[in-house]
Amino acid sequence: MRKKIKSALISVFYKDGIDTIAHQLHRLGITIYSTGGTEKFIKDIGVPCVPVESLTSFPSILGGRVKTLHPNVFGGILARRTEDQDVQQMKEYNIPEIDLVIVDLYPFEETLANTTDEKLIIEKIDVGGPSMIRAAAKNFSDVLVIAAKEEYRLLEDLLVAQEGETTLEQRKDFAAKAFEIVMHYDIAISNYFNASKPLRSIDYKFEQSLRYGENPHQQAVFYGDLKKIFTQLHGKEISYNNLVDIDAAINLIKEFSETTFAIIKHTNVCGIASRHTIKEAWTAALQGDPESAFGGVLICNGNIDKATAEAINEIFFEVLIAQHFDADAMQILRSKKNRILLLCRPYNMKSNQQVKSVANGILTQQNDEGNYIEWKETGGRETTALEKEDLTFANLVCKHLKSNAIALVKNKQLIGKGCGQTSRIDALRQSIEKAKQFNFDLNGAALASDAFFPFNDCVQIAHEEGIQSFIQPGGSIRDKDSIEYCVANNLAMVFTGMRHFRH
Write down the pLDDT at residue 73: 86
Q: What is the 3-state secondary structure (H, E, C) of 299-351?
A: EECCEECHHHHHHHCCCCEEEEEECEECHHHHHHHCCCCCCEEEEECCCCCCC
Averaged pLDDT in 10-residue chunks for the chain of 503 residues: 90 90 92 89 92 78 73 88 88 90 89 88 88 94 92 91 91 93 89 76 74 94 88 95 95 95 96 97 97 96 96 96 96 95 77 81 87 95 97 97 97 97 96 97 97 95 97 95 97 97 93
Write down the pLDDT at residue 202: 65
Exactly one of 124, 205, 234, 266 is catalytic; name it. Answer: 266
What are the residues whose beta carbons fall under 8 Å from the beta carbon of 73, sequence distance 6 or more? 9, 52, 55, 56, 98, 132
Q: How far apart are CA 230 and CA 450, in angstroms?
A: 30
Q: How far apart are CA 47 and CA 220, in angstroms?
A: 45
Write down the pLDDT at residue 349: 55
Long-range CB pairs of 96-99 (<8 Å, 24+ gap) are 96/7, 96/31, 96/55, 96/72, 97/6, 97/7, 97/142, 98/7, 98/8, 98/9, 98/33, 98/73, 98/136, 98/143, 99/3, 99/4, 99/5, 99/6, 99/7, 99/8, 99/142, 99/143, 99/144
Write down the pLDDT at residue 417: 97
Nearest to 97 by CA among 85, 79, 110, 114: 79
Nearest to 413 by CA among 440, 436, 450: 440
**pTM score:** 0.77
Residue 101 near residue 78, CB atoms below 8 Å: no
* Active site annotation includes 138: yes
Cross-strand partners of 165: 4
Q: How far apart are CA 195 and CA 131, in angstroms?
A: 24
Write b or e for each residue in 66-102: b if 16 or more Cβ atoms lie within 10 A of its Cβ, otherwise e.
ebbebebbbbbbbbeeeeeebeeebeeeebbbbbbbb
Exactly one of 26, 138, 234, 306 is catalytic; name it. Answer: 138
Write down the pLDDT at residue 203: 64
Write down the pLDDT at residue 62: 77
* Active site annotation includes 412: no
One-character DSSP codes across 406-420: EEEESSSBEEEEE-S
Radius of gyration from C-alpha coordinates of the chain: 30
Write down the pLDDT at residue 201: 63
